[in-house]
Amino acid sequence: MMTDIDYMRRALELAARGRGRVHPNPMVGAVAVRDGRVVGEGFHPGPGQPHAEVFALKEVAAGTPGVTVYVNLEPCSFVGRTPPCADLLVEKGVTRVVCAMSDPDERVSEKGFARLKGAGIDVIVGVLEAEARALNAAYVKHRTTGLPYVTLKLAQTLDGRIATASGDSKWISSEASRVRAHRLRADADAILIGSGTLKADDPELSVRHVEGESPAKIVLDSRLEISTGAKVFEGAPLWLATSEGVSNRRLQEVEAAGAGVWVIGGGGRPGLLDVLRLAADKGYLHVLIEGGGQVAASALRGNLVDRVAVFVAPKILGEGISSVGDLGIDRISDAVELDLVEVEQIGNDLFYAADVVGATEQQG
């Protein structure tokens, strides 16, 4: 006998098929069940496309008795790019709706449940809630704080270096790790780097070694020194975060080459918090920071990082450039504390993912 938990697990599996494709929307999966048989299922494939519930109920005739719908998020109750799912569930005469969590989007939050209950539908909330919140952590953070979920990626030697003292950085981690690193990219909606990394590496910042869409690119470039021949101009949208005072001629040059420009307050460096707010406004739920050490340090200093993803290569450099610049920390008790979530050996490298303790609560 399949239980509510089993069907919800299936809904979560389906939801995850939208990974890397649905922003600014959440990943949602739905399963319709009648007499212990699945009569429909589906997931939300992306903005502008039907919601998960529509696929699950496609083959279900209105008024079919005894249908339960399992969905990992509260069914929506407003007319967005598509009509409200709560109305669809009511029209189809669904008997029972089992959800994992309420929708933090204020256009829906609890109103979807109210619509269903008002129509006499039996509503259950909280099945596999922790799993559902983890799956949509970026969406939840975006809707509750107006900031994107941030993963900080580091690829470093055993002693925490990303380059030698002379600046040589190619290649620290192995080919196998690069495949995993591209999976991190495919899971993100935008990749962010500083102009130092851009100049040193001229990276393309695209997804190549795995299947998946290439995220947008954000480069912090306070003086707009980027060359229009840089590889980041190819492919996915490129945003350059710069400061007031850059010349109009330069602005026009980079715009003509295809970049969007964010001019952010003052003559100094654009603050990372403001850059991330703009990224969230553009609908990027999940930003991957890929270097360098100064950007990593300012993200950590600003308490803007949710997860750290580190590739450690079995190499020791001694003196060199640190993967994280100065954080101004004097005492061990002030260290950035992490909660380990994953360790994996990849060839001779080690991959390590950990959450910053207390990250989301302190932001906003």
* Residues designated as active site: 53
Q: Is 105 in the site for ligand AOF (CB under 6 A)?
A: yes
Q: Is 51 in the site for Zn ion (CB under 5 A)?
A: yes
Which SS3 state, helix, strand or coil, does residue 83 take?
coil
Q: Is 85 in the site for Zn ion (CB under 5 A)?
A: yes
Q: Is 102 in the site for ligand AOF (CB under 6 A)?
A: no
Asked if 36 and 43 touch (Cβ cutoff 8 Å), the reply is: no
Q: Is 56 in the site for ligand AOF (CB under 6 A)?
A: no
Structure tokens of 197?
């990394």
Dihedral of CA 198/201/202/203: which sign? Answer: negative
Stretch that binds Zn ion, among 2-10, 74-82, 235-243, 341-349 (CB under 5 A): 74-82
Q: Which is nearer to ligand AOF, 27 or 186 (CB)?
A: 27
Give the residue nearest to ligand AOF (CB).
80
* Cα distance between residue 51 and residue 28, in whole Å: 8
Shortest distance in whole angstroms from residue 50 CB to Zn ion: 8
**What's the residue count for the chain?**
364
Q: Look up residue 51 and give its amino acid.
A: H
| Angle at 132 (CA atoms; ends 53, 189), nearest 5 degrees | 85
Q: Which of 4, 6, 17, 82 binds ligand AOF (CB under 6 A)?
A: 82
Structure tokens of 121?
């539908």
C-alpha neighbours within 13 Å on the C-beta side of residue 166: 2
Q: Look up residue 296 and give its amino acid.
A: A
As beta bridge partners, residue 263 has: 242
Shortest distance in whole angstroms from residue 42 CB to ligand AOF: 9
**How many residues make contact with ligand AOF (CB under 6 A)?**
18
The option from Zn ion, ligand AOF, none interacting with 187 (CB < 5 to 8 A, set by class) reads none
Q: Is 47 in the site for ligand AOF (CB under 6 A)?
A: yes
Q: Which of 33, 39, 67, 73 binds ligand AOF (CB under 6 A)?
A: 73
Asked if 17 and 60 touch (Cβ cutoff 8 Å), the reply is: no
Interacting residues toward ligand AOF by CB under 6 A:
25-26, 28, 44, 47, 51-53, 73, 75-76, 80-82, 85, 103, 105, 108
Interacting residues toward Zn ion by CB under 5 A:
51, 76, 85
